[in-house]
């Protein structure tokens, strides 16, 4: 097992070395992107599950009862708790306060998503950069040794191909996850807004 | 033989003498006849005498001839006998000669055969000697081990016929070389260092592939020059990581060491490697606008980061403070709080809201909205420029690619594709500009996104705080009414 791990590490190191300078930023971009993606996934998951229906939200507000964190943990219960803390008692004013709270919650929803998107977009550009540096290395060899020395050219070519491959490997799942998280965020925003309108009507 | 002409002459003379006598017979026939009778008698006497002498001589010579004949017969017999023996001898000798000729032919053939074999063998040995010589000369170990190769050279140059002793020496040398090429060793020796001077160094040789040296704190690779049988330090040091690996390996603290299995090819490439800064001038004129974009981008990013950092304020804390004071109706304190954070957009918006606290809700909201809109342009300043720069940089790179390719094709139309070195100028221009365009675009793009996001975040925060302020003020107003 340990040997297998060591072998994998060795191979990975060789792969990174073959890719040249561009591999370091690529790996950093990939790591940062996946840390953010994981963070967002858990964040949304917490808000997604054990959510409250609009009706029970209204019941809680009517009874001035804080949602039980064991029973409800979703984004709607967050809104209800927030609203109950800030409400004034006046009907008209409560409506505005409700709007404010909805806005406050939704503002946080899209955090980091743009950054994830731009990291995913940068990865293929870095891959392209690696391609170009690889080709430069290849042509440097060509200008020194001529076309005869295919072995010397292989280093630059493998650099070009490995970075492109890695860039795409980072970008494709990244873009998919960006889309997934965007949908999830939109969904949550929609849900909060819907509940907001429902409560507004009943207040 | 001699006798016959003598009497014939006598007769002839007789006849001749008779002729004139007959002619003169007209006058004195008798006298003449007497005289002629006397003369004839004298002549007959003389002839008889001469005949006798001649007969005697003939008898003598006959006797002599008889003697001679016997002698000659004897000699003939002798000679015939000799001839016979000689004939026999000749027969014997010619048989012998025939035998010997056959033998000679056989031997010549055998000689030719063995001569061919020997020549072939010598040829093989010469080829091997040449190979071995090349092997030893190319082997970088020869820089440290002094093999005696003079005899190999003389064999290879056909100046010496290889004997068994030479072959044995060759075998021994070959085995020695094979063994040396499998060894990894560290020893001290003399090398030519990077400044071109002779220096003492620790030399690490890994088989006959790679040699490395260490002088004090400098570690690097060596190349071997077969002509001078000397080790030269590469003009450029390897990367720091490789140097550390070499150092560790020579100290025995590591098992891994970089080596060049291509026997110098990779190391030569190492010396030709260019750094980023050396590549930039190869990109032609388009490099300069890209670098200008980089400079402008950096200036904008720094300006924006400083600007936004200075305008940053914890809105939640401010609102909590305001809320507490609004409940206590201490408007002056609220103003003071905003004044303390003077210059920050959120504080300015809140201050604007506090100024029109007595207005109706809608009007107050309008006033706040106006204050927010006033704050937005300075925050968003230069950001669109930054986005544009991020978009332009790769386009310029692409432009450089195209101009580089145009250059390349110009070269091709003029000189053909024969020499790739001719084309490499345009190609390197194309590649360097693309690389530079991307290198500039990527960080600017990242910075643009982050800054944009941060500004959006601040605007959202301002809007939220504005609504919160309106709500706080009105909540308080309702309470007082009640």
Q: Chain B contacts of A16, Cβ < 8 Å?
A: none
Q: Check CB contact under 8 Å for B445 and A121.
A: yes
d(CA A88, CA B326): 14
Q: Minimal CA–CA distance to B437: which of B402, B473, B411, B400?
A: B400
Q: Chain A contacts of B457, Cβ < 8 Å?
A: 107, 111
Q: Which residues pair with B188 in a beta bridge?
A: B202
Mark which residues 348-387 of B lie under 8 Å from A by CB. 361
Compare B354 and B296 and report the one with higher pLDDT: B296
d(CA B191, CA B196): 9
Give the Cβ contact number of residue A101 at 10 Å: 27
d(CA B269, CA A154): 12
Buried (b) or exposed (e) across B241-271, using 16+ Cβ within 10 A? ebbebbbebbeeeeeebbbbeebbebbbbbe
Q: Minimal CA–CA distance to A27: which of A164, A121, A115, A123?
A: A123
Task: Say if residues B450 and B300 touch (Cβ distance below 8 Å).
Answer: no
Task: Say if residues A158 and A23 touch (Cβ distance below 8 Å).
Answer: no
- Residue B204 near chain A (CB below 8 Å): no
Sign for the pseudo-dihedral over CA of A121, A125, A130, A135 = positive
Q: How confident is the model at residue B117 (pLDDT cuts 50, 70, 90)?
A: very high
d(CA B333, CA A27): 52
Least confident of A26-30, B328-332, B381-385: B328-332
Choose from B438, B444, B480 for mutation: most chain A CBs within 10 A: B438
pLDDT at B1: 46
The listed range with the strongest mean pLDDT (A35-44, A136-145, B311-320, B369-378) is A35-44
Residue B86 φ/ψ, nearest 5 degrees: -65, -40
Q: Please report, in tens digits, the pLDDT of each residue of chain A (203 residues total).
A: 888 888 888 888 888 888 788 888 999 999 999 999 999 999 888 888 777 777 788 888 777 777 776 667 778 888 888 888 777 777 777 788 888 888 888 888 888 888 899 899 889 999 988 888 888 888 777 777 777 777 777 878 888 888 988 899 999 999 999 999 999 899 888 888 888 888 888 77
Question: Would you state the structure tokens that stand for residue B167, as one six-digit string?
Answer: 């072959």
Q: Chain B contacts of A93, Cβ < 8 Å?
A: 471, 474-475, 478
Q: Which of B449, B468, B475 sits opposite A93 (nearest CB)?
A: B475
d(CA A52, CA B37): 207
Sign for the pseudo-dihedral over CA of B99, B105, B108, B114 = negative
Compare B421 and B410 and report the one with higher pLDDT: B410
Residues above pLDDT 70, as percent of chain B: 92
Q: Which residues contact B361 (CB under 8 A, 6 or more apart)?
A: A96, B470, B474
Q: Which of B273, B449, B468 sits opposite A118 (nearest CB)?
A: B449
Choose from B235, B326, B468 for mutation: most chain A CBs within 10 A: B468
Q: Check CB contact under 8 Å for B442 and A125.
A: yes
Give the Cβ contact number of residue B166 at 10 Å: 17
Q: How confident is the model at residue B106 (pLDDT cuts 50, 70, 90)?
A: very high
Mean pLDDT within B170-192:
84
pLDDT at B74: 93
Residue B185 φ/ψ, nearest 5 degrees: -145, 150
pLDDT at B482: 58
Looking at the whole model, is its pTM more than 0.80? no
Q: Chain A contacts of B453, Cβ < 8 Å?
A: 114-115
Q: Which residue has the tokens 């070269």?
A: B411
Q: Which of B438, B441, B479 sits opposite A132 (nearest CB)?
A: B438
Mean pLDDT within B61-65:
92
Mean pLDDT within B267-286:
73
- Residue A54 near chain B (CB below 8 Å): no
Q: Minimal CA–CA distance to B431: which of B276, B272, B270?
A: B276
Task: Say if residues B468 and B319 touch (Cβ distance below 8 Å).
Answer: yes
Q: Minimal CA–CA distance to B337: which of B368, B365, B324?
A: B324
The listed range with the strongest mean pLDDT (B89-103, B167-181, B428-442, B462-476) is B89-103
Largest CA distance in chain B: 238
Q: Which residue has the tokens 């003492």?
A: B200
**H/E/C letters for each residue in chain A?**
CHHHHHHHHHHHHHHHHHHCCCHHHHHHHHHHHHHHHHHHHHHHHHHHCCCCCHHHHHHHHHCCCCCCCCCCCCHHHHHHHHHHHHCCCCHHHHHHHHHHHHHHHHHCCCCCHHHHHHHHHHHHHHHHHHHHHHHHHHHHHHHHHCCCCHHHHHHHHHHHHHHHHHHHHHHHHHHHHHHHHHHHHHHHHHHHHHHHHHHHHHC
**H/E/C letters for each residue in chain B?**
CCHHHHHHHHHHHHHHHHHHHHHHHHCCHHHHHHHHHHHHHHHHHHHHHHHHHHHHHHHHHHHHHHHHHHHHHHHHHHHHHHHHHHHHHHHHHHHHHHHHHHHHHHHHHHHHHHHHHHHHHHHHHHHHHHHHHHHHHHCHHHHCCCCCCHHHHHHHCCCCCCCHHHHHHHHHHHHHHHHHHCCEEEEEEEEECCCCCEEEEEEEEECCCEEEEEECCEEEEEEEECCCCEEEECCCCCCHHHHHHHHHHHHCCCCCCCCCCCCCHHHHHHHHCCCHHHHHHHHCCCHHHHHHHHHHHHHHHHHHHHHHHHCCCCHHHHHHHHHHHHHCCCHHHHHHHHHHCCCCHHHHHHHHHHHCCCCCHHHHHHHHHHHHHHHHHHHHCCHHHHHHHHHHHHHHHHHHHHHHHHHHHHHHHHHCCCCHHHHHHHHHHHHHHHHHHHHHHHHHHHHHHHHHHHHHHHHHHHHHHHHHHHHHHHHHHHHHHC
Q: How confident is the model at residue B103 (pLDDT cuts 50, 70, 90)?
A: very high
Q: Chain A contacts of B265, Cβ < 8 Å?
A: 145, 149, 151-152
Mark which residues 57-96 of A lie under 8 Å from B by CB. 86, 88-90, 93, 96
Sign for the pseudo-dihedral over CA of A182, A183, A189, A193 = positive
Q: Chain A contacts of B361, Cβ < 8 Å?
A: 96
Chain A: nearest CA to B126, how far in angstroms?
31
d(CA A170, CA B280): 28
Q: Which residue has the tokens 């949550």?
A: A188
- Residue A142 near chain B (CB below 8 Å): yes
d(CA B358, CA B326): 13
Buried (b) or exposed (e) across B441-463, using 16+ Cβ within 10 A? bbbbbbbbbbbbbbbeebbbbbb
Q: Chain A contacts of B420, Cβ < 8 Å?
A: 142-143, 146-147
- Residue A135 near chain B (CB below 8 Å): yes
Largest CA distance in chain A: 86
Q: Which residue has the tokens 């494709």?
A: A172
Q: Check CB contact under 8 Å for A140 and B273.
A: yes
A155 to chain B: closest CA residue: B266
Q: Which of B266, B428, B461 sits opposite A136 (nearest CB)?
A: B428
Q: Which residues pair with B215 in a beta bridge?
A: B218
Q: Chain A contacts of B421, Cβ < 8 Å?
A: 142-143, 146
Chain A: nearest CA to B470, how far in angstroms?
9
Q: Minimal CA–CA distance to A123: which of A30, A18, A37, A15?
A: A30
Q: What is the pLDDT of residues A20-41, one digit of tens each?
A: 888 889 999 999 999 999 999 9
Q: Minimal CA–CA distance to A88: which of B480, B476, B321?
A: B476
Q: How confident is the model at residue B134 (pLDDT cuts 50, 70, 90)?
A: confident
Q: Chain B contacts of A144, Cβ < 8 Å?
A: 268-269, 272
pLDDT at B33: 84
**If you count residue pairs, one on A and one on B, with CB atoms under 8 Å apart, how many are there?**
109
pLDDT at B24: 61
Sign for the pseudo-dihedral over CA of B373, B376, B382, B387 = negative
Compare B111 and B251 and report the one with higher pLDDT: B111
Complex ipTM: 0.78
End-to-end CA distance of chain A: 63
Q: Check CB contact under 8 Å for B274 and A140.
A: yes
d(CA A138, CA A147): 10
- Residue B33 near chain A (CB below 8 Å): no
């Amino acid at each position: 097992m340990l040997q297998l791990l060591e072998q994998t590490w060795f191979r990975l190191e060789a792969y990174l070395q073959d890719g040249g300078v561009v591999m370091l930023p690529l790996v950093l971009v990939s790591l940062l992107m996946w840390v953010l993606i994981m963070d967002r996934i858990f964040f949304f998951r917490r808000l997604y599950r054990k959510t409250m229906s609009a009706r029970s939200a209204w019941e809680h507000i009517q009874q001035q009862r804080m949602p039980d964190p064991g029973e409800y943990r979703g984004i709607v219960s967050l809104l209800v708790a927030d609203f109950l803390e800030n409400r004034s008692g006046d009907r008209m004013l409560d409506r505005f306060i409700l709007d404010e709270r909805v806005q406050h919650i939704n503002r946080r929803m899209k955090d980091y998503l743009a950054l994830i998107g731009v990291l995913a977009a940068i990865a293929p550009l870095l891959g392209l950069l690696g391609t170009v540096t690889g080709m430069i290395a290849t042509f440097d060899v060509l200008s020194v040794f001529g076309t005869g020395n295919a072995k010397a050219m292989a280093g630059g070519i493998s650099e070009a191909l490995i970075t492109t491959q890695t860039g795409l490997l980072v970008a494709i799942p990244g873009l998919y996850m960006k889309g997934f998280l965007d949908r999830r965020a939109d969904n949550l925003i929609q849900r909060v807004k819907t509940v907001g309108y429902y409560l507004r009507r009943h207040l | 033989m001699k006798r016959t002409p003598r009497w014939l002459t006598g007769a002839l003379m007789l006849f001749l003498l008779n002729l004139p006598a007959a002619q003169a017979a007209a006058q004195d026939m008798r006298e003449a006849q007497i005289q002629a009778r006397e003369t004839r008698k004298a002549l007959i006497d003389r002839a008889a005498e001469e005949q006798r002498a001649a007969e005697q001589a003939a008898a003598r010579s006959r006797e002599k001839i008889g003697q001679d004949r016997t002698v000659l017969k004897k000699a003939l017999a002798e000679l015939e006998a000799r001839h016979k023996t000689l004939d026999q001898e000749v027969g014997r000798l010619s048989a012998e000669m025939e035998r010997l000729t056959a033998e000679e032919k056989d031997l010549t053939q055998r000689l030719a055969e063995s001569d061919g074999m020997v020549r072939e063998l010598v040829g093989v040995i010469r080829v091997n000697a040449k190979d071995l010589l090349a092997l030893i000369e190319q082997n970088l170990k020869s820089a440290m081990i002094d093999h005696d190769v003079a005899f190999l050279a003389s064999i290879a140059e056909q100046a010496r016929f290889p004997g068994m002793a030479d072959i044995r020496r060759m075998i021994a040398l070959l085995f020695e070389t094979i063994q040396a090429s499998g060894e990894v060793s560290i020893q001290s020796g003399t090398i030519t260092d990077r400044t071109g001077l002779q220096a003492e160094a620790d030399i690490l040789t890994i088989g006959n592939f790679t040699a490395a040296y260490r002088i004090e704190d400098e570690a690097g690779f060596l190349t071997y020059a077969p002509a001078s049988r000397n080790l030269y330090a590469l003009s450029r040091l390897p990367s720091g990581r490789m140097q550390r690996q070499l150092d560790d390996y020579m100290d025995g603290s590591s098992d891994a060491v970089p080596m060049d299995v291509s026997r110098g090819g990779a190391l030569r490439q190492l010396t030709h490697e260019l750094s980023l800064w050396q590549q930039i001038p190869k990109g032609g004129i388009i490099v300069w606008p890209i670098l200008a974009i980089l400079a402008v981008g950096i200036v904008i990013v720094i300006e924006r980061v400083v600007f936004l950092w200075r305008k940053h304020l914890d809105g939640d804390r401010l609102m909590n403070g305001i809320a507490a004071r609004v409940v206590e109706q201490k408007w002056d304190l609220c103003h003071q709080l905003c004044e303390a954070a003077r210059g920050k957009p959120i504080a300015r918006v809140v201050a604007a809201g506090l100024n029109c606290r007595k207005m109706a809700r809608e009007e107050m909201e309008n006033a706040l909205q106006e204050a927010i809109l006033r704050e937005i342009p300075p925050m968003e300043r230069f950001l669109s420029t930054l986005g544009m720069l991020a978009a332009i940089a790769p386009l310029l790179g692409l432009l450089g690619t195209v101009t580089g390719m145009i250059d390349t094709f110009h070269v091709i139309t003029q000189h053909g594709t024969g020499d790739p070195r001719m084309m490499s100028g345009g190609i390197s221009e194309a590649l360097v500009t693309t690389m530079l365009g991307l290198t500039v675009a990527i960080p600017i793009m990242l910075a643009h996104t982050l800054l944009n996001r941060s500004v959006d975040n601040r605007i959202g925060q301002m809007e939220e705080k504005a609504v919160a302020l309106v709500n706080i003020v009105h909540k308080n107003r309702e309470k007082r009414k009640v």
